[in-house]
Amino acid sequence: MTKILLTTTSFQDTPGDHHKLLADTGWEIIRARGPLNEADTLALVGDIDGYICGDDLITRKVLEKALPKLKVISKYGIGVDKIDVKSCTEFGIPLLFTPGVNHTTVAEHTFLLLLALEKNLLFHTDSTRANGWKRKTGHELFEKTIGIVGLGRIGKEVAVRARAFGMNVIAHDIYWDEKFAAANHVKRSADLDEIYAASDYISLHTNLTPETRDMMSAKSFPKMKKGVLILNCARGEIVHTADMVAALKSGQVGGYGTDVLDEEPPTPDHPLLKLANVVVTPHVGSRTYESVVRQATAAVKNLILAMHGEKPLAQINPEVPVKRVV
């Protein structure tokens, strides 16, 4: 029987039609609770034909053990920085993904983090629950400037919502959509330094690459306005953790709202968890009922199409042909 490994927890925990879609294949579903490290992934591969993964660490070593049986990897999501894409391509494994399904949800979550920081939400809820009724004065978003790093699907949705708040929007992206920018009054920055200098808030919506790793660091923080707020619904590794902690303590960075960390789940002594001017959520920016069903359905459809030798909805390595295996 065809065996499929399923590790993404939001897929498994959220009710919806995606469960029936997968069950109706008649395949044996092997379930695990991700995200998995290399050792845990190694223990599960070797006898699976297909793999629906979240943010599991899929290294060359994992792929070598999974072969020759593994035929398709269907990523639940869009970020593939935890997957050895080069090795997938070398070994002829189609790597599928699900773009365009969670941009609304992640953009909304970005503003949850921003408003929590600017309105001192955690302080006020903690105080009220403790019968303290203590109050801090916050800030409006109106007429502030938000700098968006990465004006893709999510970045565009952030820009639309920022304009609704009456904010000024400046953005940086190597693939510039002039039509969108003009229609939504988004200023194009010449470079990242212009974003840093102009922005009251900096929102990260770029992929993790060798160029973007540690983009937010001791080198970039001095170029920013003192007290800038930084929002991260992209990848934790875009921010250099030790440098961020130092900047938060000095006041150069006024607050950090993030849905991602460099270590997930974090250890209890992770330094960002100790600071009052940090809001951390556990990588749930795309985890709404609506978004999960869309994303899970796309991941299952991708897998079914590829396993039957048909063109998937989206493929990271389209140079690898899909071949019928069922």
Please name which of 63, 51, 44, 45 lies closest in space to residue 27, comparing C-alpha atoms. 51
| Of 74, 89, 61, 84, residue with least CA distance to 22 | 74
16: left (phi over 0), alpha (psi -120 to 50) or beta: left
CB burial of 114-134 (b: ≥16 within 10 Å; e: otherwise) equals: bebbbbbeebbeeeeeeeeee
Task: Give the residue from 225, 214, 233 showing the smallest Cα distance to 158.
Answer: 233
Catalytic residue, from 28, 143, 264, 310: name it: 264
Q: Which of 161, 172, 240, 283 is catalytic?
A: 283
Distance CA 74, CA 247 (A): 39
Tell me the CA end-to-end span of the chain in Å, nearest whole number.
10
Q: Are strands 168-172 and 186-188 parallel, antiparallel or unpaired?
A: parallel
* Amino acid, res. 27: W
Determine which one of 235, 240, 287, 294 is catalytic: 235
264 is catalytic: yes
DSSP letter for 308, please.
B
Phi, psi of 131 (to 5 degrees): 60, 30
Is 19 catalytic? The answer is: no
Q: Which of 152, 163, 176 is nearest to 233 (CA)?
A: 152
Q: Which residues are identified as catalytic?
A: 235, 264, 283
